[in-house]
Chain A
Amino acid sequence: QITLKESGPTLVKPTQTLTLTCTFSGFSLSTSGVGVAWIRQPPGKAPEWLVLIYWDDDKRYNPSLKSRLTITKDTSKNQVVLTMTNMDPVDTATYYCAHTGNANIGIYFGYWGQGTLVTVSS
């Protein structure tokens, strides 16, 4: 059974750096083809794909946010960490992590965490 859960601050101030952790179970990020993605969804709006990391440490970034994002993995802890710099009120959203993969695993988001609402406000 695959599960994912996001954790981190619920409130950050403008210009601060956001760090979110995705802790997962039921799969390993050392398995060929497996990936974990971060996706955010502002209130009342569509999801926006942010970044993903594959088992081989290949990383793919949303070009519009690439300069602000960093993604890392800790395979031994079954965790993926997202860092987003220079937070702004427009970054207020629910942040999700999701299981994904390459063509061998499946290029879709088959399992999602419950999401964590991050509010950016002074």
Chain B
Amino acid sequence: QSALTQPASVSGSPGQSITISCTGTSSDVGGYNYVSWYQQHPGKAPKLIISDVSNRPSGVSNRFSGSKSGNTASLTISGLQAEDEADYYCSSYTSSRIRVFGGGTKVTVL
């Protein structure tokens, strides 16, 4: 099972919106609405910020939103803030009933 494809880095200025893509196949991202997104600050464990493509867990800022089209899922961060600078990972359920992560995207706030 190959890892999902994410851009290595994305940057934006405070207040701007950025979008991170997560590309898989019809056997994972495209086949199920079970894409989740995680935020990870240095030295910390990943934190769930989006589940089931677009659901935001309680306590997660509404500046984070998720969507999916075909084999590509996307995470959008609106109103970018300094605290959003972190690594972001997508994950998907697969047809083999296993899980897979993306390669990660480093978000830089300029």
Chain A positions near chain B (C-beta within 8 angstroms): 37, 39, 45-49, 52, 60-64, 96, 100, 103, 106-115
- A-side contacts of B98, CB under 8 Å: 49, 60-63
Using CB atoms and an 8 Å cutoff, list the residues of chain B in contact with chain A.
1, 3, 32, 34, 36, 38, 45-48, 51-52, 57, 89, 91, 93, 96-104
Which chain B residue lies CB-closest to A52?
Answer: B99
**B-side contacts of A45, CB under 8 Å:** 104
Check if B46 sits within 8 Å of A112, measured CB to CB: yes
In the complex, which residues of chain A have a beta carbon less than 8 angstroms from the beta carbon of B32? 107
- Known contacts A47-B46, A49-B100; 12 further A-B pairs (Cβ under 8 A): A39-B101, A46-B3, A49-B91, A60-B98, A63-B96, A106-B51, A107-B93, A108-B48, A108-B51, A108-B91, A109-B91, A111-B48
Q: Which residues on B sit within 8 Å (CB–CB) of A46?
A: 3, 89, 101-104
Can you report 21 A-B residue pairs in the complex whose CB atoms are below 8 A from each other?
A37-B99, A39-B101, A45-B104, A47-B38, A47-B91, A48-B101, A49-B99, A49-B100, A49-B101, A52-B99, A60-B98, A63-B98, A107-B32, A107-B52, A108-B48, A108-B51, A109-B36, A109-B46, A109-B48, A113-B45, A115-B45
